[in-house]
Amino acid sequence: MIRSPGGFGGPGSGAPARVGSTGGWIEVVCGSMFSGKTQELIRRLRLATIARQKVQVFNSALDVRYGRNHIISHDRTRIPSRPVKSAKQILDWVVADTQVVGVDEIHFFGHELVAVCEELANQGRRVIAAGLDQDYRGVPFEVTAKLMALAEFVTKNLAICVVCGAPANKSQRRAETKRRIVVGAGDTYEARCRRCFAR
Ligand SMILES: [Zn+2]
């Protein structure tokens, strides 16, 4: 399985913070459903909190899976979060001394999230953005793709195909719906590999 090169001092290694003094950066944690994106986001945010860095976390107000004031992974670990209606609201809510900004489910946001993350990083903050890289058709989410291109660090998580057990990077939708974003996970999607993914 492809994992992030956390060993070279990147975000996965818990590298010492340089935020504010020598510049910020963007980390993207992406992948399919059930690949542990939110878990990884929460892990990095917790490490920053343990290091007494000032952390703020945001999620889309569209994402109401488990409750509005937390982000919660499928294994039920949680961290407080502020839901925002648009990416620009993140800039309104970030306070001056915040060093680390986490954003979950970035695919819920529009293009303006890219500029918002760029601005936060240019202000010297560490930005950790997590979300889906592809929709249920296997089409890239533009916002994730752009952020991956601009980010200093990209971690692409893989799930395990429920059909054959191979590494899976597709989110197979089981319910009959044409909407691109369906809130909810458990019985709506399953992880599939390239060969087992049915378009
Ligand atoms: Zn498979």
- Residue-number span of the structural domain to which 150 is assigned: 17-158
Residue 156 confidence (pLDDT) above 50 = yes
- 126 in a domain, yes or no? yes
- 118 in a domain, yes or no? yes
| Catalytic residue annotation | 105
- The phi, psi pair for 39, rounded to 5°, reads -55, -45
161 Cα: distance to centroid of ligand 1 (angstroms): 5
pLDDT bin (cut points 50, 70, 90) of residue 175 is low
State pLDDT tens for residues 5-63: 433 334 444 444 445 565 899 999 999 999 999 999 999 999 999 999 999 999 998 87
Residues, Cβ < 5 Å to ion ligand 1 = 161, 163-164, 166, 193, 196
User: In total, how many domains does the chain have?
Assistant: 1
Q: What is the mean pLDDT of the chain?
A: 86
b or e along 107-125 (b: 16 or more beta carbons within 10 Å of the residue's beta carbon)?
Answer: bbbeeebbebbbbbbebeb
Tokens of 187: 């019985």
166 Cα: distance to centroid of ligand 1 (angstroms): 5
Where do runs of H (alpha helix) occur along the chain? 37-50, 88-93, 112-122, 142-150
In this prediction the pTM is 0.84
Interval 103-126 mean pLDDT: 97
